Amino acid sequence: MSWAFSAAVLLPLLAASLVATGSTRFLLWRLLPWLPLPALLLATQVRDASVDIPWLMLGARWQLDTLRSPFLLAASLLWGGAGLYARAVLEGAERERWFLSSWCLALAGNLWLIVAGDAVGFYAGFALMTFAAWGLVVHADSPRALWAGKVYIAMAVLGELALLAGLLLASELAGGSVLLAEMATALGRSQQPGLALGLLLTGFGVKAGLPLLHFWLPLAHPVAPTPASAVLSGAMIKAGLLGWLVVLPLGLTSLPAWGTMVMALGLIALLGAALRGIWTREAKTVLAWSSISQMGLATLMLGAVLVEPALWWLVSGWFGLFVLHHGLAKGALFLSVGLSLPGAPVARGLALLVVALPALSVIGLPLTSGEAVKRWLKDSVSGDLAGAVPWQPWLPHLLSLSTLLTLLLLLRWWWLLRSGDGSTAVATLPWVAWLLLAALSLGLPLYAPILL
């Protein structure tokens, strides 16, 4: 089993070494969509497994369970589809070596942190992904991209410092253990977990787009190459959420003050980011604000579990469905921004209708995965187990308001997409990559019950 985990992480790491010469780069471009394949096989074939490697670092552990599997599945599918798109639009372009090395390293870090069961491995993967993604943000080498890169790296360093300090404190509470499960248990038993909790919420919150820590997102997405924007929003942003889920003492103890604060931040993100995005003038920036808003749903649910730990056993599967739903749908929406649309009016109109299909899932229309996500959330925060959750009578109405704001936000995205220039020569491969992610997103209600 150890080889399966190792292959998932090491293949993209080894691929980064192929950027040196033109002939090896040609090979790497062909391999790019297939680099997440070992991770995809692992996510679909292994339900619950862990492998300890005592000689690696401070004692490493590869781990896959019902919580991590949806994260790994969503990441591998999204990186694969976006990799196919990147091959179509960036092969032979200026600074392709820079892009390829940043892409492979960020992919390796993303997969590593998902399957890491120990704090050292998780932090190493998280840091590798974070700093490699900076190369994707500044890839265009324009003044705007460099400014976005400065803001990104400043927020990244802040987050990494807070995360490292929080993990060290949690490890100390766990008697020096670096296993994430033992650290979460120790936080739940501690009489004074406040400092560690605050640092962990902050460190992961930078990546998850928590309000006041979100500034890098609307700056980075418009300047990054389109496939990089897709994985930034669809996969990498979820690393912050996974960190919260595996380190915080969910289901172990009630933390009403912390939970109420997290719920408030989730509501601010859910409603405030949607309002802000409606007034944005670039399609990818609109989608960036939409990602912050949608992550507010997960933050809201996280806060509810911190208030009422009994909810955890009811909603732990919700996070997996949310990650798959948002990752695939948002990845398809980002890829649609870079598609070459037909110039003929009728063909262009049909193409615009087709690319809007994943947006229906994000809005939460009936029979979509988005509708299942929001219904599960509403039922959870208004059920008998959620009696202690703050603002319980108002939450269903606020969630309905968020659906309306999301509709307006994505109508704004569609209008900006509609205003773009048409093309007489429509490239095929980017459309194939988009179609792959769109089909996976729209078909999620059919296969999610089998995989989750």
Look at residue 390 in the predicted model and tell me its pLDDT. Answer: 80
Burial of 450 (0-12, 13-18, 19+ CB in 10 A): exposed
Q: What is the largest CA-CA distance in the chain?
A: 67
* CB proximity list for 173: less than 8 A, separation 6 or greater: 183, 186, 187, 190, 193, 196
Specify the residue for token string 């394949």.
37
Per-residue pLDDT, 425: 47
d(CA 119, CA 177): 9
Helix, strand, coil distribution of the chain in percent, nearest 5: 75, 5, 20
Q: Given this model, what pLDDT does residue 191 score?
A: 85
CB 318 within 8 A of CB 301: yes
Where does residue 318 fall: left (phi above 0), alpha (psi -120 to 50 degrees), or beta otherwise? alpha
Of 373, 353, 350, the C-alpha closest to 361 is 373
Which tokens go with 11? 């293949």
Around Cβ 195, how many Cβ atoms within 10 Å? 11
- Tokens representing residue 103 in the block: 């892409």
Query: pLDDT tens digits, the chain, 452 residues: what are they?
Result: 677 888 999 999 999 888 867 678 888 999 999 999 999 999 999 888 888 888 777 778 899 999 999 999 999 999 999 999 999 999 877 888 999 999 999 999 999 999 999 999 999 999 999 999 999 999 999 999 999 999 999 999 999 999 999 999 999 999 999 999 999 999 999 888 889 999 999 999 999 999 999 989 999 998 999 999 999 999 999 999 999 999 999 999 999 999 999 999 999 999 999 999 999 989 999 999 999 999 999 999 999 999 999 889 888 889 999 999 999 999 999 999 988 777 778 888 888 889 999 999 999 888 888 888 888 888 877 766 666 778 778 888 888 999 999 999 999 999 998 876 544 445 789 999 999 999 999 999 888 887 77
For 341-365, give one letter per residue: b (16+ CB within 10 A) or e: bbeeeeebeebbeebbbbbbbbbbe
Phi, psi of 409 (to 5 degrees): -65, -45
Residues 251 and 21: their CA atoms lie apart, in Å, by 51
pLDDT at 190: 87
Residue reference for tokens 């409606």: 278
pTM score:
0.95
**Which ranges of 16-142 does DSSP label H, i.e. alpha helix?**
22-31, 37-45, 68-90, 96-115, 119-137
Q: Can you spell out the DSSP letters for 161-173?
A: HHHHHHHHHHHHH
C-alpha torsion sign, points 117, 119, 120, 124: positive
pLDDT for the residue 387:
67
Inter-helix orientation angle 369-382/444-451, to 10° = 60
| Alpha-carbon gap, residue 35 to 29, rounded angstroms | 10
Phi/psi at 393 (5° precision): -65, -25
CA pseudo-torsion sign 209, 213, 217, 218: positive
The full DSSP string for 204-232 is HHHHHT-TTS-THHHHHHHHS-HHHHHHI
Rounded to a whole number of angstroms, the distance between the first and last alpha carbons of the chain is 21
Q: CB burial class (10 A; 0-12, 13-18, 19+) of residue 317? A: middle
- What's the pLDDT score for residue 421? 52
